[in-house]
Structure 1
Amino acid sequence: MTTSSTHIIEQRSTTNLFDATSTVSDRQIEDLIALATTAPTSFNLQNWRFIAVRTPEAKARLRRFGWDQAKITDAAVTFIVIGQLADYRTIPERLAPVVEAGIMPAEMVPGWEGAAKILYDDKPQQQRDEAVRTATFGASTLIYAAQAAGLGSAPMIGFDAPAVAREFDLGANEVPVLLLAVGHATAENWPRKPRRPLDQVLEFA
């Protein structure tokens, strides 16, 4: 990794205090999500969706179901990061651009679809696990995209998921995995907290 990329990783910390007067443009939001969707997904399913909650009215609606956390409304935008249940039937559509780009031969697609069917079909827990994994990969990439853009971020799991799903019209196949506030951090935020030493978390085999 380059010095700049390691610096972005090393300096990231959760932002709990946002400058409520600062905004980000819709173009900036689009750029962040474009980077977030470069994250990996199983079988190239890309089974994610992001709702950019950015208007005062929408942020107030979300805050009602987010434990009344101020950062939901203070941040420039709070994303609802959604994982979609893994569905093997979406494979041909999701792989079509890969085939058109000359990356994958068309004859490989049925094999991938069949493998995904074996893995997920009639297995609701597997489908949901994949939704959560996918949303988490996307959210993690979004966090570092925000950091690279000079923005702070705060992932949140403290919210009423069924209520958020109803309020924002999520589909039956969609799981609101986390909320992610993004905006301009104030100076009062804590610095990055120390992490556990490597000898407690790393094992060589």
Structure 2
Amino acid sequence: MSSTTYFCTIARERHSVKQYDSSHELSKQEIEELLEIASCAPSAWNLQHWKYISIHDQYAKEKLLPIAYGQQQIVEASVVVAILGDLEANLNAVDVFESDVEAGLMTEDIKSSLISQINAAYSDIPAYAREEAIKNASLAAMQLMLAAKAKGLDSCPMGGFNVDTFMEAFSVPGRYIPIMLIAIGKAAGPSRPTSRIPVDKKIVWNGF
């Protein structure tokens, strides 16, 4: 199977699974590998607006269960990854661009210019930081689910949880906003079949 065919198969076969084999475990190394792949996702200015909380221990899953309104996949999945968006991703710029300067991919002048542009965007546009945090962290979230499927695992993105209670229970600093939870593990039951609106009804060619 060609790499193109393989990827298309993975993308088409990824479905949201809500029943997991609770006996299946993932090591920290396996979780780190999934999150490393997720972190290869693109981001504006390469600021990498994501942070992850790996909810791996059973105690932590049990704490999360009522916050996620009793959704059983929370405690049955091998891990639940909380995807957080970084409201202060502009602070990442120095580290990101310094490595480019050291590698000879960028001059100090360009680095300084880019950092000025980024800081201006973050200071001048009130909603910018939140919009960018949600947009870019969501790219990493989708990449995480595809990575899980490629490794023979299943996943389920969840937006149904109490954000304020989650932040308090897991001591999330104000710099970050929870975007979604993603349960990952071995399916113990099939996903619910879903249909898709034909793509020709979703495409507008060259403008409305």
Give me the TM-score of the superposition, normalised by structure 1: 0.94
- Is residue 88–residue 121 contact of structure 1 (8 Å, CA) maintained in 2? no
Q: Which consecutive unaligned segments of at least 5 residues does structure 1 have? A: none
Question: 1:127: Cα distance to partner?
Answer: 0.6
Question: 1:157: Cα distance to partner?
Answer: 0.4
Tell me how far apart the structure 1 counterparts of residues 66 and 137 of structure 2 sit (CA, whole Å).
23
Question: 1:103: Cα distance to partner?
Answer: 2.5
Structure 1: which amino acid aligns with 2:51? R
Q: Is 1:124 aligned to 2:126, yes or no?
A: yes
Q: Which residue of 1 aligns with 2:197?
A: 196
Distance 1:38 1:137, change over 3 A: same
Tell me how far apart the structure 2 counterparts of residues 167 and 76 of structure 1 sit (CA, whole Å).
20
Tell me how far apart the structure 1 counterparts of residues 89 and 22 of structure 2 sit (CA, whole Å).
39
Question: 1:122: Cα distance to partner?
Answer: 4.6
Q: Which consecutive unaligned segments of at least 5 residues does structure 2 have? A: none
- Is residue 83–residue 182 contact of structure 2 (8 Å, CA) maintained in 1? yes
Of residues 180, 183, 190, the one that matches 2:182 is 180
* Identity within the alignment, %: 29
Q: Which moved more, 1:142-151 or 1:112-121?
A: 112-121
Q: Which residue of 1 aligns with 2:72?
A: 70
Q: Which moved more, 1:57-66 or 1:84-93?
A: 84-93
- Is residue 49–residue 83 contact of structure 1 (8 Å, CA) maintained in 2? yes
**CA offsets 1:19-64 (integer angstroms, 9 cap, x no match):** 1111111111000000000001111111211011011100011112
Of residues 146, 149, 152, the one that matches 1:147 is 149
Q: Which residue of 1 aligns with 2:56?
A: 54
Matched residue of 1:124: which SS? coil
Q: Which residue of 2 aligns with 1:110?
A: 112
Matched residue of 1:46: which SS? coil
Q: Which moved more, 1:113-122 or 1:9-18?
A: 113-122
Matched residue of 1:134: which SS? helix
Matched residue of 1:154: which SS? strand
Matched residue of 1:15: which SS? coil
Matched residue of 1:95: which SS? helix
Q: Which moved more, 1:123-132 or 1:157-166?
A: 123-132
